[in-house]
DNA sequence: CTGAAAGCGCTTACAG
DNA sequence: CTGAAAGCGCTTACAG
């Protein structure tokens, strides 16, 4: 990348690298001459100082230094040992004599040596980094998953690298390949849609993989799931406990597993509530997450005695959109109709009425995923895939319970 | 890692690797025999089939395959070319004859070859990944920064790896070292506190670095900042425009730059508003982000004619806490006192009254950082550090403007 | 257009 | 406890 430049101007000041080249010594030696001349033979000092003189070298704050990293070879030279010993000092310090260790560590410190992880990995050293591919960092659930995974990884002395596929299948694949090509220890995937192809992609190389928040039903990897049936159950039970009697389930009509499961939970709660409580299912095809107006039209079209007094939306986004539409139609929330969502999604939190929701325990999910991955790594070929199901919890806010007294 | 196992049981079914070993051929050849026997010499087919027979090998879904990646050597063998040509097919396809290219690509496909990025990087190949170290993914601002950075990186064909230091200096350092050791193209740092040491840490290796959301005043790297003076200015002007006359600035008394700047902006807006508008500054030492009670005590202790009708808190967290405390004291928000925060922080969004705030454009900040980094990489030693200042924007909600009609 | 060879920076047996 | 040597999987000149 060429030479160094001082902060003061564009002088093109020479770097230690150039001095070393001119003097025919290593950069470590030049550094020693500058910082610790007592460690260097008089003859070498003279040679280096001549080079310094000739090039007009002076230590300066570089604006943008050439990119350069000392290697084990230079560390070994400065410490006066072989590269094998440097490597041992790094990886098996207990096998190195304390004094030798101290000398190596001093050299590392002095040179600012940061081992090249690529070389280390290539040579068969241990890799303690995990990759997490997340479908959408804009959704709170996945941010929570990332945070939980990060904490668990840190607690285990591993590093977590996060990648956001931004709801794009091609990017998701690219990120899986990226982690595979980096030969990370394992991958956690929170996918957009059925991750079958992605799983195959990782699995064919035998890389440990855990899938979060998607049950493909094939059991071909460890999985962390939310109990979505319970999500719906908690929601409907909440409305019943508030005294609501005519519940409505609002969702897009589609094949997504979580949607079906939540719906099943709602039905179960209504069934358990007995005679006085009824359920209307407003699951229309093509209702997007911002189609509250559309939903409200349907609601208002119902005969008065069938009109619901509680709406449960499959997601917070849809719930928030429904709240706005109801208020736009002159109805009060929750006075006329209580509303809630599911998901605990921050994108839905800007509305006028704080939205009741069912929260999935994202941090716990992320932590569980890292634990499963660690087990898979540890167990090797004896590993048997497991699934962890995390329980959701209710979060009551104004849209169902009204403004809280305090 | 040992042998493969079928999904059906613990039979210890043999893998292609073992077949290859027994037959004395490459895995690629075994694969060819199984999938494309027409490509293999009759003699070899016989040898491999004998091995398959002897080991009882059958293609099966492995529960957990041994970890194995084909290398360029195997690709070369299958394609019938040299490894140099495989490399050229990968990196300089225009230099390879179309038919050769096709053969190499077929081999890559067939073997499921994913190049080892570590080896590639070591050998001097190009590295297109950027590292982002973020202080706290729990804070919306940094999630937005990550998303913006990720989009800009993707648009440029680069991969962004995100790491969460979780408000821990030691982890921040570890992550900087992690990216340095991986020899990423460059690093973006959204630091916890003064990043001077961290900057040195990266800079000494000449690695391109951009700092986001912290101005250390030293100009020793590219920086992306929010105009915090304007944050305060927008907040105070908003209150004035709503007709509020006695503003209060609420913050912890400390040395943080953003705090001072926001305060300065508030003062300017009040000054510009002229005679009718006054400002009280409630900046008490030791007021934490949840000390709303404490703040409200101070407010209520003021003589009636000096009691503020608008509170501007330095952060959303403090603002939300103040809202709760005011409501607890029997005051209405914004009826008696309008309140707002600064930061657009999702952690503060659970309260009963949606909080007006000033939003920092996190996505824009992240994107700008990646652009600066790309410039620094492209410009090499001719690079001169720049700073980008992003403008904040007002987000009006109920806590200042009252419930919106629709 | 293709191949043989050197080398990137490490780690790991293996001698000593 | 330490050193010399081989090798990890690539890319890059350099010959052909």
CATH number of the structural domain spanning residue A138: 3.40.50.2300
Nucleotide nearest to B120 (CA to C1'): D10
> pTM score, two decimals?
0.80
Contact B4 A380 (CB under 8 A): no
Considering the domain architecture, whether residues A236 and A316 belong to the same structural domain is answered as yes
Which of B117, B146, B174 is nearest residue A137 as measured by Cβ atoms?
B146
Q: Which helix (H) or strand (E) holds A186?
A: strand A186-190
A188-220 pLDDT, tens digit each: 999 988 888 888 888 888 899 999 998 877 778
CA distance linking residue A365 with residue A151, whole number of Å: 12
pLDDT category of residue A23 using cuts at 50, 70 and 90: low
Is A67 part of a structural domain of the chain? Answer: yes
B138 close to A (CB below 8 A): yes
Q: Which domain holds residue A272?
A: 228-360+395-401
Q: What local confidence, expressed as pLDDT, does residue A291 receive?
A: 86
Average pLDDT over residues A149-160: 96
Predicted local distance difference test score (pLDDT) of residue B264: 96
Nearest partner of A12 among B380, B155, B348, judged by Cα: B380
> Do B163 and A166 count as a contact with CB atoms less than 8 A apart?
no
- Strand D footprint nucleotides (protein C-beta < 7 Å): 1-5, 7-13
Q: What is the pLDDT of residue B157?
A: 93
Asked if the structure places residue A333 within a domain, the reply is yes
Q: Do B205 and A69 touch (CB under 8 A)?
A: yes
Q: Is the CB of B123 under 7 A from strand D?
A: yes
| Nearest Cβ partner for B66 among A122, A150, A206 | A206
Residues 323-352 of B with CB under 8 A from A: 324, 327-328, 346, 349-352
Query: In the structure, how far is the CA atom of residue B345 from the C1' atom of nucleotide D6, in angstroms?
Result: 56
Largest CA distance in chain A: 102
What is the three-state SS of chain B?
A: CCCCCECCCCCCCCCHHHHHHHHCCCHHHHHHHHHCHHHCCHHHHHHHHHHHHHHCCCCCCECCCCCCCCCHHHHHHHHCCCHHHHHHHHHCHHHCCHHHHHHHHHHHHHHCCCCCHHHHHHCCCCCCEEEEEECCCCCHHHHHHHHHHHHHHHHCCCEEEEEECCCCHHHHHHHHHHHHHCCCCEEEEECCCCCHHHHHHHHCCCCCEEEECCCCCCCCCEEEEECHHHHHHHHHHHHHHCCCCEEEEEEECCCCHHHHHHHHHHHHHHHHHCCCCEEEEEEECCCCCCCHHHHHHHHHHCCHHHCCCEEEECCHHHHHHHHHHHHHCCCCCCCCCEEECCCCCHHHCCCCCCCEEEECCHHHHHHHHHHHHHHHHHHHHHCCCCEEEECCEEECCHHHHCCCCC
Residues B177 and B76 in one domain: no
Q: Name the percent of chain B lying above pLDDT 70.
A: 83
Q: Given pLDDT bands bounded at 50, 70 and 90, which one contains residue A393?
A: very high
Question: Who's near B381: CB < 8 A, 6+ residues apart?
Answer: A1, A2, A3, A4, A5, A64, A66
pLDDT at A369 over 80: yes
Average confidence (pLDDT) over A167-179 = 94
- In terms of domains, do A193 and A294 share one? no
Predicted pLDDT at B10: 24
Residue A30 has a pLDDT of 46
Is B296 in contact with B325 (CB distance < 8 Å)?
yes
Of A346, A384, A404, the CB nearest to B63: A384
What one-character DSSP code corresponds to residue A146? H
Same domain, B131 and B206: yes
Rounded to a whole number of angstroms, the distance between the first and last alpha carbons of chain A is: 63
Same domain, B205 and B256: no
Tell me whether residue B242 is in a domain: yes
User: What confidence tier does A6 reach under pLDDT thresholds 50, 70, 90?
Assistant: very low
**Does residue A3 fall inside a structural domain?**
no
In angstroms, the CA B38 to CA B86 distance is: 22
**Sheet bearing B246-252, strands edge to edge:** B278-284, B246-252, B310-313, B338-340
Domain boundary among A120, A137, A157: A120
Q: What is the pLDDT of residue B27?
A: 44
HEC assignment per residue over A268-295: HHHHHHCCCCEEEEEEECCCCCCCHHHH
A301 touching chain B per CB within 8 A: no
Q: A374 and A336 in one domain?
A: no
Residues of A in contact with B354 (CB under 8 A): 349-352, 354
CA A302 to C1' D4, whole Å: 87
pLDDT digits (tens, 9 = 90+) for B202-236: 888 889 999 999 887 777 889 999 999 999 999 99
Reported as a single tens digit per residue, the pLDDT across A341-353 is 998 888 787 777 8
Region A212-232: what's the mean pLDDT? 89
Chain A within 8 Å of B404 (Cβ-Cβ)? yes
Same domain, A252 and A148: no
CB contact under 8 A, A162 and B162: yes
> Looking at A17-26, A79-88, B89-98, B212-221, which range is the least confident one?
A17-26
Residue B184 Cα, gap to closest chain A Cα (Å): 10
The pLDDT tens digits of the residues spanning B15-47 come to 444 545 556 555 444 444 443 343 445 555 566
Q: Please state the domain count of chain B.
A: 3
Residue A406 within any structural domain of the chain: no
Q: Touching check for A5 and chain B: CB below 8 Å?
A: yes
Report CA torsion sign: A240, A242, A248, A251.
negative
> Does any domain span residue A5?
no
Q: Are B383 and A64 in contact (CB < 8 Å)?
A: yes
Q: Lowest mean pLDDT of A69-83, A386-400, B29-43, B169-183, name the range.
A: B29-43
Average pLDDT over residues B385-396: 94
Q: Report the pLDDT value the prediction gives residue A353, as an integer from 0 to 100.
A: 86
- Residue B135 and residue B84 in one domain: no
Final residue belonging to a domain, choices B90, B120, B150: B120
The pLDDT assigned to B351 comes to: 76
Q: What is the token pair recorded at A399?
A: 């849209």
What CA–CA distance (Å, rounded) separates A255 from B188? 40
For residue A385, the chain B residues in CB contact (below 8 A) are 63-64
Say if residue A343 is in the same domain as residue A236: yes
The reply to whether A143 touches chain B by the CB within 8 Å rule is yes
How distant, in Å, are the alpha carbons of A31, A113, B52 from that of A82? 19, 16, 47
Q: Are residues B4 and A164, on separate chains, in Cβ contact within 8 Å? A: no
Give which of A161, A331, A356, A396 to mutate to test B binding, by max B Cβ within 10 Å.
A161
Contact B143 A138 (CB under 8 A): yes
| Residues 85-144 of chain A in contact with strand C via CB under 7 angstroms | 86-88, 90-92, 113, 115-116, 119-120, 122-126
Mean pLDDT of B89-115: 93
Residue among A10, A143, A163 with most chain B CBs within 10 A, to mutate = A143
For chains A and B, what is the number of CB pairs under 8 angstroms? 209
A155 interfaces chain B, CB cutoff of 8 Å: no
- Which residues of chain A are within 8 Å of residue B217 when distances are taken between CB atoms? none
A47 and A25, same structural domain?
yes
Question: Is A76 a member of any domain?
Answer: yes
Cβ of residue B162 closer than 8 Å to a chain A Cβ: yes
Same domain, B330 and B246: yes
- The answer to whether residues B380 and B344 belong to one domain is no
Q: Which two tokens stand for residue B340?
A: 């707002």
State the average pLDDT for chain B.
84
| Local confidence band at A337 (pLDDT 50, 70, 90 cut-offs) | very high
């Amino acid at each position: 990348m060429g030479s160094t430049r001082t902060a003061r101007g564009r002088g093109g000041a020479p770097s230690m690298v150039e001095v070393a080249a001119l003097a025919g010594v290593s950069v470590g030696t030049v550094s020693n001459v500058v910082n610790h001349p007592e460690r260097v033979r008089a003859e070498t000092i003279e040679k280096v100082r001549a080079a310094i003189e000739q090039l007009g070298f002076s230590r300066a704050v570089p604006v943008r230094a050439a990119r350069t990293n000392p290697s084990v070879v230079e560390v070994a030279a400065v410490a006066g040992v072989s590269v094998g010993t440097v490597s041992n000092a790094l990886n098996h310090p207990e096998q190195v004599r304390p004094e030798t260790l101290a000398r190596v560590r001093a050299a590392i410190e002095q040179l600012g040596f940061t081992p090249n992880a690529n070389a280390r990995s290539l040579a068969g050293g241990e890799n303690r980094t995990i990759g997490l591919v997340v479908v959408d960092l804009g959704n709170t659930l996945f941010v929570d998953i990332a945070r939980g995974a990060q904490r668990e990884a840190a607690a285990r002395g591993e590093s977590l690298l996060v990648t956001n596929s931004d709801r794009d299948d091609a990017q998701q694949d690219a990120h899986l390949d990226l982690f595979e090509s980096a030969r990370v220890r394992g991958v956690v995937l929170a996918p957009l849609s059925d991750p079958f192809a992605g799983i195959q992609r990782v699995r064919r190389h035998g890389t440990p993989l855990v899938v979060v928040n998607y049950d493909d039903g094939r059991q071909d990897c460890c999985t962390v799931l939310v109990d979505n049936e319970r999500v719906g159950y908690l929601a409907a039970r909440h409305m019943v406990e508030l005294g609501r009697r005519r519940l409505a389930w609002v969702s897009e009509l589609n094949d997504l597993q979580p949607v079906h499961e939540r719906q099943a939970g709602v039905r179960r709660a209504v069934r358990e509530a007995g005679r006085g409580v009824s359920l209307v299912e407003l699951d229309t095809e093509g209702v997007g997450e911002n189609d509250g107006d559309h939903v409200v039209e349907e609601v208002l079209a119902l005969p008065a005695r069938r009109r619901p007094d509680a709406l449960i939306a499959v997601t917070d986004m849809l719930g928030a959109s429904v709240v706005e539409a109801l208020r736009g139609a002159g109805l009060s929330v929750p006075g006329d109709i209580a509303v809630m969502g599911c998901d605990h999604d921050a994108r839905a939190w800007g509305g006028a009425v704080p939205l009741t929701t069912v929260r999935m325990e994202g941090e716990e999910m992320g932590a569980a995923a890292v634990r499963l991955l660690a087990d898979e790594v540890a167990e090797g070929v004896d590993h048997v895939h497991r699934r962890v199901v995390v329980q959701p919890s209710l979060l009551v806010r104004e849209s169902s319970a009204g403004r809280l007294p305090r």
